[in-house]
C-alpha cells in the first residue's frame, strides 16, 4: 500500500506546476549571447521617441544599436526587435546586442543596425519593463495582437523615416528583418506580411498566433493568399499556454503551441522559406534566447561571401571601424 501511495505521489509531482516551472531550466545562454573578450562592442544610443499618428496620443520609445563595423558610406542591414526593453536587457534571457556583436565580428551575419522598440504608450503611462511588458499599462495589446496593418504603419511610415535620416540603411527588403516574442512576435509577422516590400525576415519566439484579438487567422490567410517573399523562423515550447481552462475546458484557438505549429505547417505547404524548432519549455524567452544566434544565422544566411582563397579580408575577423570611419553620434530626439 505504501509503495502504491508513493507511486501516486510521484505522478502528482511530475504533473505539478513545480515540475512545469523547471522545464525552462534546460535552456541556457551560450557564448554567442555573452560579451566576449576581444570582440568589438556596438553602441546602443537612446532612449529616443517617435510620435505616433496611427494610434493618436501615443509615442514609441526606442534604442538604436550601431555595430563597431558600421560604415556610413555603405548601406547596412536592419533588424528591429519589438518589446525592445526585453531584447536588449543586459541581464535578460536574450541579450540581442551581444549576439549581433559576436556574429558580425565573425562575419556570420551582415553588418546591421539594430533597433529595440517598445510598444506605444500615452504620456501618463509607464514605460514597459522586464517585469511588465506593457499588457496592462501600454498600448501593447492593441498594437501587437490585432491582425491588421496598423502596426506595420508604425514601423514603416513612422519609425523608418526617422531611422533613414540618421543611418545609411539598405532599401533592399531582403536586408531588413523584424522579430519579437509572444505578442511582439505576431506583431513582427504582421509587419512583414503587410509590407513584404519593406521587410522580409521574421524571427518569432513563442508567437501569440492565438485568439487574443483574432490572431489565429493567419494559417487561413496564408492558404488563401498569394505566396509572399518572406522568410520566418518560429520557436515555441510544448508547454506554452495550451488553451486549457481550470474547469477542464479546452479552447484550440487559445493554444499557443498548436497555433504555432499550424501556421508553420500552412506556410510550409505554401512553399514559404520556413524554419522552426519546438522545445519543451513554457511561455517565455528562455529557449528563444538560447537559440537566438542560430535563428539569426539562418535568417541572414544569404549574405554575399567571397570564395576567393586569396581574399584575406573575407578570411579575417571583422574588426571595428577606424576612428575616421566611425558613425556620427545620433542626436537625441
Cis check: omega of the bond before 237, within 30 degrees of 0: no
| Helical packing angle, 96-105 and 286-299, nearest 10° | 30
Q: Which of 310, 244, 233 is nearest to 278 (CA)?
A: 233
**Per-residue pLDDT band at 321 (split at 50, 70, 90):** low
| CA distances in angstroms from 252 to 22, 240, 256, listed in the order given | 25, 13, 9
Which DSSP string corresponds to 204-229? EES---STTTTGGGHHHHHHHSPP-S
Provide the 3-class DSSP secondary structure of residue 277: strand
Beta strands, E only, the chain: 43-51, 59-66, 77-82, 112-117, 176-181, 201-205, 231-237, 242-244, 250-255, 273-279
CB 60 within 8 A of CB 120: yes
Quote the pLDDT of residue 17. 52
**Per-residue pLDDT band at 186 (split at 50, 70, 90):** very high
| Gap between the Cα atoms of 29 and 66, Å rounded | 22
- Specify the CATH superfamily of domain 25-301: Alpha/Beta hydrolase fold, catalytic domain (3.40.50.1820)
Domain spans of the chain, in order of start: 25-301
CB 201 within 8 A of CB 177: yes
Quote the pLDDT of residue 22. 87
Listed in sequence order, the DSSP H helices in 27-158 are 84-87, 96-105, 140-145, 150-153
301 secondary structure, DSSP code: T
Q: Which of 161, 148, 151, 70 is nearest to 114 (CA)?
A: 70
Provide the 3-class DSSP secondary structure of residue 35: coil
Residues linked to residue 250 through DSSP beta bridges, in sequence order: 244
Task: Note the pTM of the prediction, 2 decimals.
Answer: 0.91
What's the farthest any 2 CA atoms get from each other in the chain? 80
Q: Is the pLDDT of residue 328 over 90?
A: no
| Gap between the Cα atoms of 117 and 185, Å rounded | 13
**Per-residue pLDDT band at 320 (split at 50, 70, 90):** confident
| Gap between the Cα atoms of 75 and 31, Å rounded | 28
Percent of the chain past pLDDT 90, that is, above it, reads 89
Question: What is the per-residue pLDDT across 121-174, written as a single tens digit (0 to 9) for each?
Answer: 999 999 999 999 999 999 999 999 999 999 999 999 999 999 999 999 999 999
**Per-residue pLDDT band at 11 (split at 50, 70, 90):** very low
88 secondary structure, DSSP code: S
Question: What is the per-residue pLDDT across 245-275, written as a single tens digit (0 to 9) for each?
Answer: 999 999 999 999 999 999 999 999 999 999 9
Pairing state between β 77-82 and 231-237: unpaired
Amino acid at each position: 500500500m505504501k509503495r502504491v501511495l508513493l507511486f501516486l505521489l510521484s505522478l502528482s509531482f511530475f504533473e505539478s506546476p513545480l515540475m512545469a516551472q523547471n522545464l525552462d531550466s534546460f535552456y541556457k545562454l551560450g557564448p554567442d549571447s555573452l560579451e566576449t573578450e576581444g570582440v568589438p562592442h556596438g553602441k546602443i544610443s537612446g532612449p529616443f521617441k517617435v510620435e505616433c499618428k496611427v494610434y493618436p496620443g501615443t509615442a514609441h520609445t526606442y534604442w538604436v544599436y550601431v555595430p563597431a563595423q558600421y560604415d556610413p558610406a555603405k548601406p547596412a542591414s536592419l533588424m528591429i526587435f519589438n518589446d525592445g526593453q526585453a531584447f536588449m536587457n543586459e541581464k535578460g534571457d536574450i541579450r540581442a546586442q551581444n549576439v549581433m556583436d559576436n556574429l558580425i565580428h565573425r562575419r556570420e551575419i551582415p553588418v546591421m543596425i539594430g533597433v529595440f522598440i517598445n510598444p506605444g504608450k500615452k504620456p501618463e503611462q509607464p514605460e514597459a519593463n522586464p517585469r511588465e511588458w506593457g499588457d496592462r499599462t501600454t498600448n501593447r495589446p492593441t498594437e501587437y495582437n490585432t491582425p491588421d496593418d496598423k502596426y506595420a504603419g508604425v514601423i514603416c511610415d513612422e519609425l523608418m523615416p526617422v531611422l533613414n535620416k540618421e543611418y545609411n540603411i539598405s532599401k533592399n527588403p531582403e536586408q531588413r528583418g523584424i522579430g519579437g516574442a509572444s505578442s511582439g512576435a505576431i506583431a513582427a509577422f504582421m509587419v512583414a506580411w503587410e509590407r513584404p516590400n519593406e521587410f522580409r525576415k521574421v524571427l518569432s519566439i513563442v508567437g501569440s498566433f492565438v485568439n487574443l484579438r483574432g490572431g489565429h487567422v493567419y494559417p487561413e490567410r496564408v492558404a488563401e493568399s498569394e505566396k509572399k517573399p518572406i522568410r520566418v523562423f518560429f520557436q515555441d515550447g510544448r508547454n506554452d499556454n495550451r488553451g486549457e481552462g481550470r474547469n477542464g475546458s479546452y479552447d484550440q484557438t487559445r493554444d499557443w503551441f498548436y497555433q504555432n505549429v499550424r501556421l508553420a505547417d500552412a506556410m510550409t505547404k505554401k512553399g514559404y522559406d520556413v524554419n522552426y524548432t519546438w522545445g519543451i519549455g513554457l511561455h517565455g524567452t528562455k529557449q528563444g534566447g538560447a537559440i537566438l544566434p542560430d535563428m539569426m544565422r539562418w535568417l541572414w544566411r544569404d549574405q554575399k561571401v567571397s570564395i576567393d582563397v586569396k581574399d584575406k579580408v573575407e578570411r579575417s575577423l571583422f574588426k571595428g571601424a577606424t576612428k575616421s570611419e566611425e558613425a556620427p553620434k545620433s542626436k537625441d530626439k
